[in-house]
């Protein structure tokens, strides 16, 4: 059985410091592939360096909405140049966040748009973060989708089925993280149960929010994706084996690793 952790912040200090150990734990758990996700220029560069050293890691480079006001004038140009590296398979994470309010909405929107523009120009899929702003995200995505088909994923999805359905119609994949395993997350599991088998992904979003039964453990790390996979397989009334195979195939398809 093979799992694919499609969203791991392996460049963050608490994971990077002991990366060989976390990669061993991942291998022992059957987590054979991971996407190392950048959140600003520096972490994107670190993710890419890690990918150069480990054959089962690929990178996503970009500027997180909460970092968008801090990004320097040249950072985006540098991100675009990193994106030409053969192990970069996605742009992001980008998107919008109205929960933390770390950057004005207009700044976040401009940042999100340039990721979408670059995704269309390069064919690289985009990894989308949405917190407390599903309507704004759908509006921005709709503008782009009217011009050309979108490739990407709604990561760590916690929205409604209506939002999920609209994202699926736009051609996006939906990815679920540890939060979907929490006791009070019946609503997230019921959305996950309805996502078509060829459009669902799993991730840890580590080092944050470890899944049940390791909830509260810090750092979360890629091996833990198996808990989320197992929980969602039960919610979907399918075998763990078939769900692992489907989510791994979907990730290979989206990130063009087939
Ligand atoms: Zn993330």
Please write the tens of the pLDDT for every residue from 97-152.
999 989 999 999 999 999 999 999 999 999 999 999 999 999 999 999 988 889 99
The predicted structure's pLDDT at residue 176: 98
Q: How far is CA 72 from CA 2, 68, 78, 201, in A?
A: 39, 9, 10, 32
User: How far is ligand 1, taken at its centre, from the CA of residue 97, in Å?
Assistant: 12
Write down the pLDDT at residue 101: 86
239 band by pLDDT with thresholds 50, 70 and 90: very high
Per-residue model confidence as pLDDT tens digits over 2-19: 999 999 999 999 999 999
User: 236 C-alpha vs ligand 1 centroid, how far in Å?
Assistant: 24
CB 119 within 8 A of CB 83: no
Whether the pLDDT of residue 22 is over 80: the answer is yes
Q: Residues 69-84: what's their mean pLDDT?
A: 96
pTM, two decimals, is 0.97
How far is ligand 1, taken at its centre, from the CA of residue 93, in Å? 6
Q: Which residues surround ligand 1, an ion (CB under 5 A)?
A: 205
Mean pLDDT across the chain, nearest whole number?
96
| Cα–ligand 1 centroid distance for 120 (angstroms) | 22
State which residues form the domain around 26. Answer: 3-254
CATH code of the domain containing 142: 3.20.20.140
Note the pLDDT of residue 91. Answer: 98
Among residues 177, 190, 179, 176, the alpha carbon closest in space to that of 234 is found at 190
Cis check: omega of the bond before 219, within 30 degrees of 0: yes
Mean pLDDT of 189-212: 97
Residues listed for the chain: 258
Q: So what's the pLDDT on residue 133?
A: 92
Sign of CA dihedral 77, 80, 86, 87: positive
Question: How many domains does the chain divide into?
Answer: 1
Whether the predicted pLDDT of 258 surpasses 80? no
CA of 206 to the centre of ligand 1 (A): 7
Strand partners, 94: 128
* Burial readout 95-114 (b: 16 or more C-beta within 10 A, e: otherwise): bbbeeeeebeeeebbebbeb
235 Cα: distance to centroid of ligand 1 (angstroms): 24
**Structure confidence at residue 21 as a pLDDT band (50, 70, 90):** very high
Q: How far is the CA of 196 from the centre of ligand 1 (A)?
A: 23
- pLDDT of 181 strictly over 90: yes
């Amino acid at each position: 059985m093979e799992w694919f952790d499609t969203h791991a912040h392996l460049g963050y200090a608490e994971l990077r410091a002991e990366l060989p150990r976390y990669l061993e734990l991942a291998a022992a758990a059957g987590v054979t592939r991971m996407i190392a996700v950048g959140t600003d220029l520096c972490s994107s560069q670190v993710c890419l360096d890690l990918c150069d050293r480990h054959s089962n890691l690929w990178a996503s480079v970009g500027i997180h909405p909460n970092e968008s006001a801090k990004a320097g004038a040249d950072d985006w140009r540098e991100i675009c140049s990193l994106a030409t590296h053969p192990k970069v398979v996605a742009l992001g994470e980008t998107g919008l966040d109205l929960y933390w309010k770390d950057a004005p909405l207009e700044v976040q929107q401009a940042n999100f748009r340039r990721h979408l523009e670059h995704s269309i120009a390069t064919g690289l899929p985009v990894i989308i973060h949405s917190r407390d702003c599903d309507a704004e995200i759908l509006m921005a995505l709709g503008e782009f989708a009217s011009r050309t088909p979108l490739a990407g994923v709604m990561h760590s999805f916690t929205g409604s089925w209506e939002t999920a359905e609209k994202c699926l119609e736009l051609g996006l994949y939906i990815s679920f993280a540890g939060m979907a395993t929490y006791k009070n997350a019946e609503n997230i599991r019921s959305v996950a149960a309805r996502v078509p088998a060829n459009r669902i992904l799993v991730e840890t979003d580590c080092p944050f929010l470890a899944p049940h039964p390791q909830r509260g453990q810090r750092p979360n790390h890629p091996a833990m994706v198996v808990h989320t996979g197992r929980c969602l397989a039960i919610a979907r009334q399918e075998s763990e084996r078939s769900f692992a195979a489907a989510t791994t195939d979907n990730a290979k398809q989206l990130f063009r690793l087939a």
